[in-house]
Structure 1
């Protein structure tokens, strides 16, 4: 009977620890694919300070990929294309945001110029500088998006 208790205990511990081990392995794998940094994303903005999801982001070619922190998916949830993403402004977290986000985060607001959708990201100040540099270093002319007046028709 004592060996059955030991086996059951080991099995329970393994089941409890497995998700944490998988999250650690996922983060290590994503880090190996490119520089990864902590970055929260606001999934909804129906009320002030709510809708933030902790995550991480990385630059991959001409894209900024955002991943949820507590997910097992290896695919990004949101992708920002450099050519269609424009910086709007940055600010310090206010109210409940200061508690919900990573310590010393700055909130950056960007706009997708194709869909006109506004996105909010929260990251460390040095990551904000990296994002701004990445957006500004796009090749000349890549930020030109034709309007309906520019297309023949």
Structure 2
């Protein structure tokens, strides 16, 4: 009877060790993303099939000169899950969150569109007011030397 109990302890210890490694990798990933600068916490969702909206996903957005990279909060993937092009990006509106969306109270939902059709599907981002100010500044400014009209 001693033998199966001992092997069960080893299996349990291995599972605990694997879970700890995944949590550590996720925390390390978050730290690396934040350390590179220009990263803020926000929620993202895309319209689903038939115009239905998908679920809100929490993550980190990192501003870049050519676009916005979005990393899900609960992942160990090192690359962004969504890349929103800055070219042609237009803020088509903003609104407070609806009660059924279960977003934090100080959040504003920003509707994004690419009218020229060169950037991707419509999207919605939700962020707090301080983050929203930085995001709108990023949208309205162009990196030095950028000439997208030529």
- Cα deviation, 1:46-102, whole Å, max 9, x if unaligned, reads 446x521211101122321111122222211222232321111111100211x2x34
- Structure 2 equivalent of residue 123 of structure 1: 127
Query: Can you give the 5+ residue segments of structure 2 that lack an aligned partner in the other structure?
Result: none
Counterpart among 21, 31, 34 of residue 34 in structure 2: 31
Change (3 A) 1:40 1:86: same
Matched, 1:12 2:15: yes
Q: 2: distance between equivalents of 1:139 and 1:126?
A: 21
Change (3 A) 1:22 1:102: farther
1:20-99 matched pairs, under 5 angstroms:
20-45=23-48, 46-47=51-52, 50-97=54-101, 99=102
Query: Can you give the 5+ residue segments of structure 1 that lack an aligned partner in the other structure?
Result: 147-153
Q: Give the secondary structure class of the aligned counterpart of 2:19.
A: helix
Q: What CA RMSD, in Å, does the superposition of the two structures yield over aligned residues?
A: 2.8
Displacement of 1:111 in angstroms is: 0.9
Q: 2: distance between equivalents of 1:39 and 1:62?
A: 19
Q: 1: distance between equivalents of 2:14 and 2:70?
A: 34
TM value normalised by structure 2? 0.77
